[in-house]
Amino acid sequence: MKAKAMFLKEPVVGYALWAVLFTVISLMIAQHPSDRTVSLAYIQAAQRFLQKAPLYEREGIHGFLYFPHFAIFFCPFVFMPPLAREILWRLFSLLLFVGSIRKISSSFFPGLQSKAFFCFSLLVMASSMASLRNGQTNLGLGAALMLGFLYCGEKKNFKAGLFFFLGLILKPIALFPFFCAALFFPSFRKAALATLLFFFIFPFFFSMDRPRYAYEQYLLFLNRMLSVSQPNEANFADIQGLLYLFHLKLSPLLSLLTRSLGAIGTLLVVRSLGNLPRGSSLFPALLYSFSTSYLLLFNPRTELNSYVMLGLSLAFFSLYFGWIERQPKASLLFIFLTPLLGIEAFGGSWVRIGLWLKPLVCLLFESLLVFFLFNRRSPVRCPIRSG
């Protein structure tokens, strides 16, 4: 029993869980390298950038839907063999994701760091498998945004800017959380402005011989985003995916209005939570949770594996309410919701169910989170440890 207890105190158990998952997925990729992967679009964009060809398609709702920066970021993978490329890209995303879990565990649960890392890994694994299997950027995006918010809370603005910069590369939707960080963390605003300026000029550093090329890609990117922002297919897991359950469909104008009201509502809720006694101690995690939930519910292109970002929030608040707030009912309720984020792993009709179930879980979780925080009897605990 003592040996077992000592073993569980070490983070090696949590790392072993991720190592097993990564090994299994790597073996699956080795057998079917081109099956269920999105990296082909990334490779094509990187090749086009090296050739200084247009990065964006003119038709369809799929393809390369990122800032030009991502094509630059992915260029090193062009020169790798296909199998190595697929595995190393997923390894990069997983290391970033696991690193964010370690950071959360050490910042919020310094006395239970190893146990927190192990439990956190167990809770978030179901929601992370699909993104890791498909090679989607959502795994790295969730990690980068969480780290950015945590470093904002610690007033380590250079590190915060670095991770938000990475988040913007991984997906354009990171703009909303980045804006929230600049809005609610005054000490980060100068660093945020510097990050934004450097992000804008970044592609020009790699197009010194043809600076107009970078400018043209920005224009093509804007046109592309406008053309894909209103998909006609009912295969996305946003708020409209939930409405489709009731045979309702929002018009483009009503969809835009809903997204705008959702953004305003999110900012108002976050502001009210920030006014709780000692609310700033938990504020970075709350801001991550509500800003990413807004993306999941109101981005009209939310995919099922995007909910790995919600998985981070659910796992964290499951542990927070169980160990810090001593509210076992809230903790168990959140733990119960976590496996539902991996429902698409069953395939078949479960994929269609996930299109409305996941946004429903997101709405339920954030509503319960607000309820539990506003009906607490003691101040917000567990301040983030700086340094």
User: pLDDT at position 227, please?
Assistant: 79
* Res 340: pLDDT: 94
In this prediction, residues 121-136 reach a mean pLDDT of 93
1's tokens:
């029993």
Task: Lowest mean pLDDT of 53-62, 95-104, 135-144, 253-262, name the range.
Answer: 53-62
Asked if residues 238 and 355 have their Cβ atoms less than 8 Å apart, the reply is no
Contacts of 383 (CB under 8 A, 6+ apart): 278, 281
pLDDT, tens digit (0-9, with 9 covering 90-100), for 208-221: 889 999 999 999 99
What's the confidence (pLDDT) of residue 279?
A: 44
Angle at 369 between CA 281 and CA 99, to 5 degrees: 55
Task: Please tell me the least confidently modeled range out of 253-267, 311-325, 353-367.
Answer: 253-267
Q: Residue 254: pLDDT band by 50, 70, 90 thresholds?
A: confident
What whole-number distance in Å separates Cα of residue 65 and Cα of residue 82?
A: 22
pLDDT attached to residue 379: 52
Residues 6+ away with beta carbon under 8 Å from 228: 61, 65, 301
Answer with the residue of higher pLDDT: 326 or 280.
Answer: 326
pLDDT in tens, 42-89: 999 999 999 999 999 876 667 789 999 999 999 999 999 989 999 999
Cα–Cα distance for residue pair 44/97, rounded to 1 Å: 25
In 3D, which of 233, 290, 231 has the Cα closest to residue 266?
290
Give the whole-number percent of the chain exceeding pLDDT 90.
64
pLDDT (average), residues 162-184: 97
Distances (CA, A) of 49 to 318, 349, 368, 373: 43, 39, 46, 48
pLDDT at 148 over 80: yes
pTM of the model: 0.93
Contact 246/259 with Cβ under 8 angstroms?
no
**DSSP category for residue 346:** G
In 3D space, the residue among 65, 136, 45, 146 whose CA is nearest the CA of residue 105 turns out to be 146
In the chain, DSSP finds a helix count (H) and a strand count (E) of 18, 0
When mean pLDDT is compared across 129-133, 175-179, 331-335, the lowest value belongs to: 129-133
Instruction: Give 377's pLDDT tier (boundaries 50, 70, 90).
Output: low
pLDDT at 225 over 90: no
139-178: b (≥16 Cβ within 10 Å) or e: bbbbbbbbbbbbbbbbebbebbbbbbbbbbbbbbbbebbb
**pLDDT in the model for residue 384:** 44
For residue 278, the model assigns a pLDDT of 40
Q: How far apart are CA 69 and CA 206, in angstroms?
A: 10
Residue 33 has pLDDT above 80, yes or no: no
Boundaries of every domain in the chain: 2-374
Report, as an integer, the average pLDDT of 281-300.
Answer: 93
Residue 13's pLDDT is 86
Question: Smallest Cα–Cα separation from 308: which of 62, 101, 32?
Answer: 101
pLDDT for 219 equals 94
pLDDT class for 277, splitting at 50, 70, 90?
Answer: very low
State the chain's maximal CA–CA distance in angstroms: 67
